[in-house]
Structure 1
Amino acid sequence: MTRACALVLFALFALAGCEQDMADQPRYDPLEPSRQFADGKSARAPVEGAVARDADLSPAPQVFPYPVTMKLLQRGQQRFDIFCSPCHGRAGDGNGMIVQRGFPAPPSYHQDALRRAPDRHFYDVITNGYGAMYSYGARVPPADRWAIVAYIRALQYSRHAPEADLPQPQRTKLEAMR
């Protein structure tokens, strides 16, 4: 029994002698100065040309890659309502619920500059973010981004459709309202 007690005491003293440095490895907080590198910084910039592990490297087409169908527009509306309408509003006028609570208003999709913007512009903004808008590249798959772009175009067209494109019964109603 005494020998067992002696072994336990020896083990306790041996463990107590271990330095805590093994558990608490030296490290630097972000942007903390360091003498380890000549420039005095603790963090290194990524090597030029480095790509994030989860980056989507597939080339995005410059023009709309799918035929615009009702199914695509419905998918775009669903995704738009989920991801875009909190800021842009359901009509795309830039007055969503977040804006009504004090967040800066995004631009209206119905302004001339965005009506003239290429489809790829909207796709890139969804992918990479712009201004106060953060990137949705990790949240919205590419096919859904294009569906949202199609729906944005439908929203724009809904307010700026040429009168000549209306069927005759709607044109007659419109003229009667004037």
Structure 2
Amino acid sequence: MNSAFAIVAMLLAAVSSCDQMRHQPRYDSEERSTLFANGMSLQASPDGTIARDDPAQRQALRERPAMTGELLARGRERFGIYCTPCHDLSGHGQGIVPSRGFPHPPSFHIDRLRNAPSSYFVDVITNGHGVMYSYADRVSPADRWAIAAYIRALQLSQDAPASALSAADRTKLEGGGR
């Protein structure tokens, strides 16, 4: 009987306190405040803050950069930071996160993703897809394009025709030049 009384008392206390949140004090954006040293409730954004709808950011997403060694190196670095936990280093979707029960992402080496435009990868990084959330607040537009370029390099590395290799590399591939 005592445990039932305790449960009812806790529920009543919780329900009665819910309304308290609705009546908390707040400030309007231009209202004076003693909370901050400058006396204003609205504070300036920190240096480097970029609005979500920033025109420069939108333009950077539309313009695919030229393929360079620097772009690939940056893409490899960013891929290693943001993508490998789920996609693994080779892009097969066997990262540490899925090995612990999270759904496996698709391999970048399936035909559907090999045939997808690079802008598809940029869009997925920007908006998320399936259980992957958006990385727009973590990865700059230029870095999204760099990651997409690196994904293309990964795809090529896993399915390059032997005819695309130099004679020396073909010999190594065939086991003759260890």
The TM-score, its normalising length taken from structure 2, stands at 0.66
Which residue of structure 1 aligns with residue 127 of structure 2?
Answer: 128
Which residue of structure 2 aligns with residue 101 of structure 1?
Answer: 100
Shift in alpha-carbon separation, 1:102–1:168, aligned structure 2, 3 A: same
Which residue of structure 2 aligns with residue 145 of structure 1?
Answer: 144
- Between the aligned partners of 1:81 and 1:175, the Cα distance in structure 2 is 30
Give the count of matched residue pairs.
129
- Between the aligned partners of 1:167 and 1:132, the Cα distance in structure 2 is 41
Q: Which runs of structure 2 are paired with 1:1-178 in the superposition (5 Å)?
A: 25=23, 54-57=52-55, 58-59=58-59, 60-61=61-62, 65-176=64-175
State the 1:174 CA deviation: 2.9
Amino acid at match of 1:141: S
Q: If you compute each CA radius of gyration, which structure gives the higher value, 1 or 2?
A: 1
**SS of residue in 2 equivalent to 1:120:** helix
Amino acid at match of 1:157: L
- Between the aligned partners of 1:24 and 1:73, the Cα distance in structure 2 is 52
Segment drifting more, 92-101 vs 168-177: 168-177
Shift in alpha-carbon separation, 1:25–1:142, aligned structure 2, 3 A: same
State the 1:82 CA deviation: 0.6
The TM-score, its normalising length taken from structure 1, stands at 0.66
**SS of residue in 1 equivalent to 2:23:** coil
Q: Tell me, which stretches of 5 or more residues in structure 2 are unaligned?
A: 1-18, 25-50
State the 1:77 CA deviation: 0.7
- Between the aligned partners of 1:165 and 1:156, the Cα distance in structure 2 is 14
State the 1:176 CA deviation: 4.7
**SS of residue in 1 equivalent to 2:171:** helix
| C-alpha RMSD over aligned residues | 2.3
- Between the aligned partners of 2:21 and 2:66, the Cα distance in structure 1 is 59
State the 1:70 CA deviation: 1.4
**SS of residue in 1 equivalent to 2:156:** helix
Shift in alpha-carbon separation, 1:22–1:162, aligned structure 2, 3 A: closer
State the 1:175 CA deviation: 3.6
Amino acid at match of 2:126: T
Which residue of structure 2 aligns with residue 37 of structure 1?
Answer: none
Percent identical pairs in the alignment equals 52
State the 1:170 CA deviation: 1.6
State the 1:23 CA deviation: 9.1
